A and B are shown apart, each in its own frame.
Chain A
Amino acid sequence: MYDIVIIGAGVTGCSVARYLSRYDARVCVIERAEDVCCGTSKANSAIVHAGFDAAHGSLMAEMNLKGNLMFPALARELDFAFIQNGSLVVCMHEEDLPKLHELYENGVANGVQELEIVDARRLHELEPRVSKNAVAALWAPTAGIVCPFNLTIALAENAYTNGVEFRFNTEFTGISRNKDGWAVQTNRGILDTRYVVNAAGLYSDVIHNMVSAEKIHITPRRGDYCLLDKTTGDFVRHTIFQLPGKYGKGVLVSPTVHGNTIVGPTAIDIEDREGVNTTAEGLNELIEKAGDTVDGLPIRQVITSFAGLRAHEDHHEFRIGELKDAPQFIDCAGIESPGLTSSPAIGLTVADLLRDKLELKPNPGYNGTRKGVLDPKKLSPEAYNELIRKEPAYGRVICRCETVTEGEIIDAIRRPLGAKSLDGVKRRTRAGMGRCQAGFCSPRVMEILARELGVDQSEITKCGGASKLIVGLAKDQISGGAQ
Chain B
Amino acid sequence: MKKYDIVIIGGGPAGLAAAVAAYDAGQKNILILERDNLLGGILNQCIHNGFGLHTFHEELTGPEYAERFIEQVKERGIEYKLNTMVLSIGKDKTVTALNKTDGLFQLEAAAIILTMGCRERSRGALNIPGFRPAGIYSAGTAQRLVNIEGYMPGKRVVILGSGDIGLIMARRMTLEGAKVLVVAELLPFSGGLKRNIVQCLNDFDIPLKLSHTVVDIEGKERVSGVTIAAVDEHNKPIPGTEEHYDCDTLLLSCGLIPENELTRGMGAEISRVTSGPVVNESLETSVPGVFAAGNVLHVHDLVDYVSEEAAAAGRAAAAYVAAGCTDGERSDLPIAFEGGPRYTVPCTVDPKRVEGNLTIRYRVGAVMKNRVVRVFLDDEAVLTRKRRIMAPGEMEQVVLTRAVLDAHPDMRKITIKVGEA
Contact between B100 and A439 (Cβ–Cβ < 8 Å)? Answer: no
Q: Select B122's contact among A304, A388, A474, beta carbons within 8 Å.
A: A304
Distance between Cα atoms of A405 and B147 in the complex (Å): 24
Encode contact with B along A446-464: 1 for CB under 8 Å, 0 otherwise: 0100000000011001110
B120: Cβ under 8 A from any A Cβ: yes
Query: Using Cβ atoms and an 8 Å threshold, which residues of chain A touch B131?
Result: 276-277
Nearest CB on A from B234, distance (A): 13
Interface string of A228-252 (1 = CB under 8 A from B): 0001000000000000000000000
Given the known inter-chain contacts A472-B155, A474-B151, please indicate yes or no for A305 contacting B124, CB distance below 8 A: yes
- Which of A283, A435, A442, A475 is within 8 Å of B127, CB to CB? A283
Taken together as a complex, chains A and B put the C-alpha atoms of A226 and B134 apart, in Å, by: 20
- How far, in whole Å, are A274 and B103 apart by their CA atoms in the complex? 45
Give the docked Cα–Cα distance between A471 and B153 (Å). Answer: 6
A381–B147 CA distance with the chains assembled, in angstroms:
38
List chain A residues, Cβ under 8 A from B78. none
| Contact pick for A470, options B102, B124, B151, B217, CB 8 Å | B151
Contacts of A276 in B (CB 8 A): 131-132, 220
B133 contacts across to A, CB distance below 8 A: 462, 467
Q: How far in angstroms is the closest Cβ of chain A from B375?
A: 34
Contacts known (A439-B120, A467-B222); A395 close to B129, Cβ less than 8 A: no
Whole-angstrom CA separation of A279 from B133 in the bound complex: 15
Of A88-96, A97-105, A143-151, A396-404, the one touching chain B:
A396-404
A393 near B149 with CB under 8 A, answer no
CA distance A443 to B146 in the complex (A): 11
Checking B101, B152, B221 against A467 with a beta-carbon cut-off of 8 angstroms, the contacting residue is: B221
Which residues of chain A have C-beta atoms less than 8 A from B161's C-beta? none
Q: Could you tell me if A303 and B134 are in contact, using CB atoms closer than 8 angstroms?
A: no
Residue of A nearest to B173 (CB): A474
The SS class assigned to the B binding surface is mixed
Tell me whether B124 and A462 are in contact (CB under 8 A). no
Identify which of residues 41-63 in chain B touch chain A, using a CB-to-CB cut-off of 8 Å. none
Does A468 have its Cβ within 8 Å of any Cβ on chain B?
yes
Check if B221 sits within 8 Å of A466, measured CB to CB.
yes
Q: Beyond A381-B104, A395-B101, A396-B100, is A457–B130 a contact (Cβ under 8 Å)?
A: no
Contact B99 A473 (CB under 8 A): no
Cβ of A302 within 8 Å of any chain B Cβ, yes or no, is yes
Using A436-B120, A466-B222 as known contacts, say yes or no to A471 and B248 having CB atoms under 8 A apart. Answer: yes
Q: How many residues of A contact B (CB 8 A)?
A: 56
Contacts of A437 in B (CB 8 A): 122-125
Contact B177 A475 (CB under 8 A): yes
Q: How far is the CB of A42 from chain B (nearest CB, A)?
A: 11
Q: Enumerate chain A interface residues (CB-CB to B < 8 A).
A: 226-227, 231, 274, 276-280, 282-283, 302-306, 381, 384-385, 388-389, 392-393, 395-397, 400, 403, 405, 435-440, 442-443, 447, 457-458, 461-463, 465-477
Given A443-B148, A462-B134, A477-B151, 7 other A-B contacts at CB below 8 A? A396-B100, A405-B98, A437-B123, A461-B134, A469-B135, A471-B152, A472-B155
Chain B residues engaging chain A, CB cutoff 8 angstroms: 35, 83, 85, 87, 98-104, 119-120, 122-125, 127, 129-135, 138, 140-141, 144-155, 176-177, 215-218, 220-222, 237, 248, 264
Top 9 closest pairs, chain A to chain B, by CB: A304-B124, A437-B122, A462-B134, A395-B100, A397-B85, A477-B150, A392-B100, A385-B103, A467-B134
